[in-house]
Structure 1
Amino acid sequence: MNSTDLAFIPALEQARLIRTKVISPLELTQVYLDRIEQLDSSLNSFFTVMAEQAITEAKAKTEQLAASNIEPSSLPAFFGVPIAIKDFAPVAGVPCTYGIHLLKKRVATEDAGLVTRIRQAGFTILGKTATSEIGTSPYTESKGFPSTRNPWNLTYTPGGSSGGSAAAVASGLCAVAQGGDADGSVRIPAACCGLVGIKASRGRISSAPLGEKLGGFGVEGTLGRTVADAAALLDVMSGYVLGDPYWLPAPSVSFLEATTQTSTGLRIGFATAMSPIGAAHPICTQAVVDTVQLLEELGHSVEQVELNFSELIDPLKIIWQATVDVGVPRFFLGKLNRFLLKRARSRPSGAYPQAMMKLHTIARRIVSDLSKIDVLVLPVVMHPTLRVGEWAKLTAAKELENIIQWITPCPPFNVTGQPAIAIPSGFTPNGLPLGVQLVGRPGDETTIIALAAQIETARPWSQNRPMLAA
């Protein structure tokens, strides 16, 4: 197996090859570090590459595996498999910037809880991936950092805010990556880069030690090339940490095991238009139509539903604006965040809790309206991927308006806390990936993961590789 093929095999298969001593943790880590050195100057998917730490750790794991008294089956599930972490999750001893160039030299003093779980699962961390500034934009073009680019076409964005993680996985710079999703920040990059992206349910993954994000609207997620890889990483990252404000019981079966279950007779709702934005671009509409036609062929019942998210927009703007006030001087921020910060500081102090209460009320209505269906199929975004810098010359107000229109299918399910998974659904005529999302009932990742795996079996996608990466 050549190094390119090795870089693109699933993380679960890499773990098996390591346990059976076909490859070593050091060999696999070196493959990815070499690819990062060769390719990432074009992609800018990493803010920080932890080459020295990764090599040291991989050498130790290789020696551990070689010890005569080690039983490979007793090793952690992902022993020796490299992974990337979004630069929102602190990794001890490594800068954590949140996409703010002023914080390039601020070094984290402890691991985030999810990073601890990732280490316990045996992963080797390759580095911290690029993100948009404070995670507020759905493209990864932070002021003071080079723009992150889509490996399928370098003139286009990989999405955001987990754009670096998606670009790295899609180009074979790691097999899986962690991301975060507050308004689509895992699902949008997954769709832009032809990946599987899971937004977990609220309470599924702890945000320790930093605490909740956006009143619970911001959650963690996973990115992989296969449903099984993304599901297995979700298993690793899930779980309650003492003091968490939200938590869920563990599922009856692991998320990885859910990928082997056969879904039958589900009630599938779908929509390709939503108020007040209107209809999705014909290409995005067709991706949804093709997906629900397949689901009908697979024995599920399908019905079109009407969605109205008009009431969400104004209170969501208030919450969005408030996230920008992180104690960084205004002039260090990019244009959009300066605009958001100014608006946040001009509002009365009661605006934020009032907006939050209104969103909680709307969330109850949305969940109630969808209670008769098991899974909702939607576009991830309302039109195909943007070019890098496409909206850079717009006023901040117009840029915000365009963002809201583009990402409309994603934020409502951050508000409700429902799980969602973005899956590949083909390509645009100019060769860029398309994606659709499956939204599940509250707390029910298992059903959408099983359904996504069923779609993947019928129409595989993981064999696709960007020309740049191959």
Structure 2
Amino acid sequence: MNQEELAFTPALEQAQLIRSKQVSPVELVELYLKRIERLDSQLGSYFTVSADLALADAKIKTEYLAKSGDSSELPAFFGVPISVKDLNSVAGVPCSYGTAALRSQVAAHDDNVVTKIKQAGFTILGKTATAQLGTMPYTEPQGFPPARNPWNLDYTPGGSSGGAAAAVAAGLSPIAQGSDGGGSIRGPAQCCGIVGLKPSRGRISSAPVGDYQSGIATSGPLTRTVADAAAFLDVVSGYVTGDPYWLPKPETSFLAATQDRLDSLRIAFSTTLAPVGDTAPICAKAVLDTVQLLEEMGHSVSEGCPDFDGLIEPFTVVWQAGVGASGVPPELLEPMNRWLLEHSYPAGQYLRAVAQMQIISRRIVGFFENFDVLVLPVYMYPTIRVGEWANLTPEETMHKVIQWVAPCPAFNATGQPAIAIPAGFDSVGMPVGVQLIGRPAAETTILALAAQIEAAKPWREHRPAFGQQS
């Protein structure tokens, strides 16, 4: 296997190569560090590259393998590189939250998801680019180079996990941790033609920090394959003492679910989203092509969608409060976030918005009493260009954001699991995806269905030309 093929090899397969001693952790880390050094000045997918820490960790793991003949007890991802979004703390590594003035602020602790990542055997390459405080669906924070899409550098990789998605798509990391509070994993997954899983509320603990936004946000993976996303969820999920939300473990592992033979599922779909309207034709085609394939597989498919009416306003109130809850001083905020802070709502109105969001969420979840899965577009139209909205007023930007990301936030409100998967390309060659939404806590169902689609129409060999050796 040549170096380029190895860079695009899925994480689980890399773990097996390490176990069989066909490749060492040091070789993998060096491979990605070289690619990052060669390519990321154009891509902007990393804020911080922890080369020394990553190499030191990889050397310890390589030496352990050399001394031990038994690899059966190794953690699932022993020696596999990973990136962490720069909204989560990694001890000893800067954590800026996309705020240029904080770029040298070194974290004193690991967030729980990072602790679980380390326990799973991963080696952390560095921190990936994010929109400031994770608020925007593009990754262009002031004081940093904009993150760009490896399929076409003129376009955004999405946001706020834009750096994470770009790194995976460009072969600068085999797997990435991201977070999703309104589509921030699923949107970048679509933009970059990879897999993005938003788990159920309570599946992954946010310890040791609290819940700032009434449970709308969660960590999750961005990967090249469904199996990698499932295996990541296996190793990072679980209750931590004091969590405000938690879920029981599934009867079987999430990875095992990707091998399940599914009975016929009741699947709904829609290409229209009230009150926003019809999705762009190419995004609608992705949905229709997917449901046609599902029907051919024997699933029961019918058109239908929950009623999202009334959700935009309360969700926006809750989401917008995250800027103030961050504690970042107003003078360090970029203009869009400063505007969001200035237009935030008092506590009483926030609590009324939470109550209204929960009432509407009950109605949305009720739709799933008659369906196992809902297929929707990820976003209402394809990827935008870098800087496309840079000259808009904050009010105009908010309107654009709401219109673009409309299919995503409802399931942050309800806490349901959703997975974005590739579903083709638009007329200019940019990826388009669909999302599969499951019942509460039913990740196993959507992972099994996504794996079934992946087996029928594989996407892992679709790679951007960027960074490939000629």
- TM bracket, shorter-chain basis: over 0.9
Give the equivalent residue in structure 2 for 1:237.
236
Give the equivalent residue in structure 2 for 1:253.
252
Counterpart of 1:375, as a letter, is: V
Kept in 2: contact 1:64–1:70 (CA 8 A): no
* Aligned match for 1:369, one of 364, 367, 370: 367
TM-score, structure 1 normalization: 0.98
Counterpart of 2:41, as a letter, is: S
Matches within 5 A, 1:406-421: 406-421=404-419
What SS does structure 1 have at the residue aligned with 2:311? helix
Give the equivalent residue in structure 2 for 1:227.
226
Kept in 1: contact 2:207–2:243 (CA 8 A): yes
What SS does structure 2 have at the residue aligned with 1:377? strand
Kept in 2: contact 1:273–1:307 (CA 8 A): no
- Per-residue deviation at 1:331? 3.2
What SS does structure 1 have at the residue aligned with 2:136? coil
Give the equivalent residue in structure 2 for 1:389.
387
- Per-residue deviation at 1:444? 0.3
User: 1:424-451 deviations in whole A, cap 9, x for unaligned?
Assistant: 0011121111100000000000000000
Kept in 2: contact 1:418–1:439 (CA 8 A): yes
Counterpart of 1:141, as a letter, is: E
Matches within 5 A, 1:91-170: 91-170=90-169
What SS does structure 2 have at the residue aligned with 1:206? coil
- Per-residue deviation at 1:333? 1.5
Kept in 1: contact 2:307–2:363 (CA 8 A): no
Higher alpha-carbon deviation: 392-401 or 313-322: 313-322
Counterpart of 2:343, as a letter, is: R
What SS does structure 2 have at the residue aligned with 1:156? coil
Q: 1:327 to 1:212 in 2, by over 3 A?
A: closer
Give the equivalent residue in structure 1 for 2:39.
39
Kept in 1: contact 2:306–2:367 (CA 8 A): no
Higher alpha-carbon deviation: 304-313 or 116-125: 304-313
Distance 1:331 1:120 in 2: 38
- Per-residue deviation at 1:108? 0.8
Kept in 2: contact 1:130–1:148 (CA 8 A): yes
Higher alpha-carbon deviation: 17-26 or 303-312: 303-312
Give the equivalent residue in structure 2 for 1:19.
19
Higher alpha-carbon deviation: 374-383 or 331-340: 331-340
Give the equivalent residue in structure 1 for 2:335.
335
Tell me, which stretches of 5 or more residues in structure 1 are unaligned?
Answer: none
Distance 2:358 2:207 in 1: 23
Give the equivalent residue in structure 1 for 2:296.
297
What SS does structure 1 have at the residue aligned with 2:34? helix
Distance 2:273 2:435 in 1: 15
Counterpart of 1:249, as a letter, is: P
User: 1:2-47 deviations in whole A, cap 9, x for unaligned?
Assistant: 1111000111111111111111110011000000000100111001
Kept in 2: contact 1:275–1:307 (CA 8 A): no
What SS does structure 2 have at the residue aligned with 1:76? coil
Total equivalences in the alignment: 467
Give the equivalent residue in structure 2 for 1:49.
49
Distance 1:55 1:3 in 2: 18
- Per-residue deviation at 1:308? 3.1
Tell me, which stretches of 5 or more residues in structure 2 are unaligned?
Answer: none
What SS does structure 2 have at the residue aligned with 1:318? helix
What SS does structure 2 have at the residue aligned with 1:127? strand
- Per-residue deviation at 1:282? 0.3
User: 1:287-310 deviations in whole A, cap 9, x for unaligned?
Assistant: 000000000000000010144323
Identity of aligned residues (%): 60
Distance 1:372 1:96 in 2: 44
- Per-residue deviation at 1:319? 1.2
Distance 1:232 1:327 in 2: 34
Distance 1:328 1:98 in 2: 9
What SS does structure 2 have at the residue aligned with 1:357? helix
* Structure 1 runs, 4 residues or longer, greater than 3 Å off: none
Give the equivalent residue in structure 2 for 1:271.
270
Distance 2:403 2:307 in 1: 13
TM-score, structure 2 normalization: 0.98
Give the equivalent residue in structure 1 for 2:441.
443
Kept in 2: contact 1:271–1:307 (CA 8 A): no
